A and B are shown apart, each in its own frame.
Chain A
Amino acid sequence: MGGVVTKDGAFAYKVAAADLPISIEVESFDQTTNMSVISDGIVTRPADQSIITTFPLALQPVPAKPHVRKCQIPDPSAAATPANAKYSLPADVNLSFVVSFATVNGPNPRYEIRLIPAVGTTQKRTLRTVRDFVVLEHA
């Protein structure tokens, strides 16, 4: 599965080492302003959901793309990765998104969440409600 994030149901994505770092983009459609935030990443053991670590995440504006906000899930094995984002495998990275539809200005308001692996195919989710939840299953 290396190099390809694969969808595993409504919430989970299987992630291989080659996929990391994974960029996460949130794009708004039919809204004047992209109002989206991401939670900190909670890393858990798949067996019992015990928490290994928590690392901070924040969606940032993308130059020349006013409707896109972006952040990155770091590679836990990379030397430059902060200590609180380093963990041993297997592990699940749990993420929650909160968005707003306060500036709807078109017929089909929605957000698209894109998981972009370092190599391989981008996975997309369409969000028409104000929250979403994603698990990256890192085997």
Chain B
Amino acid sequence: MTKLRTLLALSALGLGALWAQSSATNDAVTRVVRATVANDRDDGIAASWQALLDDLFREIDDRLDREGEQMLARRRADIRNGASSGAAGSTTAALNPLLPAAFGFSFENGSVVRTISGNSVTIAVNPAGLICASRVGVAPVALREQGCQDFWRRWGVSLTFDTSRGKNPPPTASTLKPLADQFAEAAVRFEVVNQRKPGSARFHEGLKAWEKDAKAAADPINLLQVKLTPFRKEFETQMGAAIGRFQPSDTEQQEIDALLKVVRDVKAGIANADPEVSALLRGAANKWRDTLKADNALYNTFAHGWVATAEYALERPDIATEAVGTIVPAGTRPPSLHTARLVVARGLLNYNLDFTLNFSSSWFDEKRPEMTSLWRNVQVAGDAKWRLRDIADFGTPTFLMAGLYMYLNQRPLGFDIPQFAGTQINEPGHVGVFQAKLELPTANAAVRIPISFSYSNRTDLIKERDVRGQIGISLNLDSVFADPAKK
């Protein structure tokens, strides 16, 4: 019994020590295990040593945990690729604030507010970005660097095509006749404010503060490294010896465990109680915490700053008519829609959370008989977006919850249609939508797969509750072009 108790206690101690090691240590030793060339292995060993130091810092100052944790997911999720909520295929209740720096493409199935769902293909282009890509290279454009057509690169256009047109609704369902013309929407965007790029004065102030703090940390950390030279040398020797003992039959986890044991053993040998080492560790940890704070503040400016984008969109209706009573002559479309939209975004660093708000209003292109005015609707939509933990080689998944409210001032098609599939349709009123959405990245975030579910009290044409699913795929070439080494 005593033996069992001792064994349990030792196991608990062992597990506790293992858990005490940060995920950075695990990541670093995994790099060592997976390295196929000596240089990569050495880089992994160097990273493992730095992770060991981080663990020592954290033991002195547990506030470092908080600062470090905030640096987990650092990829942006504020680029608009898809169609607006009014499209036949859209996975988005609230549009993201920024357009791709050069080119983006998306395919989406399932509508958010439209009664008749379909498929939308959206192409988003930054014309000046494309010109600059051919002039100064794609990487600087994808990284949104300054220096080429900076004003014109704030403009973007997107075109949406409804590839299901001509099929929905079936011609036999009503007096409505489907159109074969697949053009659905054209939009022009202008970035009014964008603090999420390094050209802003606020970013430069943050950068200066970071450089000052980073230099103030680099010097004591360098001195600490000098004092820890015997331990570092032992660490390198022990890591090399452990790697030398790897057997072909060992699993990757066994190899990782062997290296983690080296990290643990060497760390245990560094006597925190030694007054000289202790003082150096404390000084370095304090300076390091200041650096991480400055780093987080700068990241906050870059990734969570204000963005405001103004957009004008022209939407062509997807239901054409044959004659509807005496109101709509045969062969005419419902009137087109003009939409003005403002997209505003701001984030909260402490929660790794980004808020987006859309305000929009739409007007009919022409006033037809029985229409009260040109004004069709006003819409407010917003989302709260969490970036989840980065998945290596895939990207950062995001989860968002969104709400949308639309007030339809008059009939959504602009004219009266008696019924559709036996239901009263085309009525003014209030539309509310709640949406939950998960965006899964692949191919290092270049390709994203949005999957969403929405609940609405009604859709644009039919006053009935609706629960729907939407799915899409989007390609943002910024991620592909951003790495000059891949050109």
Contacts and interface: CB of A to CB of B under 8 A. Distances in A.
A91 B443 CA distance: 47
B42 A7 contact: yes
B226 A98 contact: no
A35 B210 contact: yes
A17 to B, nearest CB: 23
Contact of B483 (A7, A35, A37, A106): A106
B229 interface: yes
Contact of B482 (A66, A107, A133): A107
A126 interface: yes
A103 B198 contact: yes
Contact of A10 (B236, B445, B484): B236
Contacts, number: 156
Given A32-B144, A32-B198, A131-B50, A39 B219 contact: yes
B69 to A, nearest CB: 14
Given A10-B42, A127-B43, A133-B49, A39 B218 contact: yes
A107 B236 contact: no
Contacts of B76: 105
Contacts of B40: 126
B456 to A, nearest CB: 36
Contacts of B226: 42, 44, 49, 51, 94
A62 B172 CA distance: 69
B211 interface: yes
Contacts of B221: 39, 96, 98, 131
Contact of A30 (B42, B291, B483): B483
Contacts of A106: 142-143, 478-479, 482-483
B431 interface: no
Interface in B430-461: 443-446
Interface string A87-109: 00000001111101111111111
Nearest to B295: A100
- How many of chain B's residues touch chain A, expressed as a range? 35 or more
B339 interface: no
Contacts of A130: 50, 71, 295
A102 B292 CA distance: 10
A29 to B, nearest CB: 6
A4 to B, nearest CB: 16
B247 interface: no
Determine chain B's interface SS by DSSP, over half rule: helix
A49 B227 contact: yes
Contact of A129 (B47, B142, B295, B478): B47
Interface string B49-84: 111010000000000000000010011100000000
A10 B46 contact: yes
Contacts of B445: 107
B39 interface: yes
Contacts of A37: 211, 214-215, 218
A102 B215 contact: no
A109 B42 CA distance: 19
A32 B143 contact: yes
B218 A107 contact: no
Given A102-B298, A108-B483, A126-B39, 15 more contacts: A32-B198, A35-B298, A40-B222, A67-B484, A96-B225, A98-B215, A101-B71, A101-B74, A103-B198, A104-B74, A106-B142, A107-B483, A129-B47, A130-B50, A130-B295
In the complex, the 9 A-B pairs of residues with the closest C-beta atoms, listed nearest first: A107-B444, A106-B482, A39-B218, A39-B222, A96-B222, A10-B45, A102-B299, A10-B42, A37-B214
Interface of B: 24, 28, 31, 39-43, 45-47, 49-51, 53, 71, 74-76, 140, 142-145, 197-198, 207, 210-211, 214-215, 217-219, 221-223, 225-227, 229-230, 232, 236, 239-240, 291, 295-296, 298-299, 302, 395, 443-446, 478-480, 482-485
14 contacts: A30-B482, A32-B144, A33-B198, A38-B218, A39-B221, A49-B229, A51-B226, A98-B214, A98-B218, A102-B298, A106-B479, A126-B40, A129-B28, A132-B50
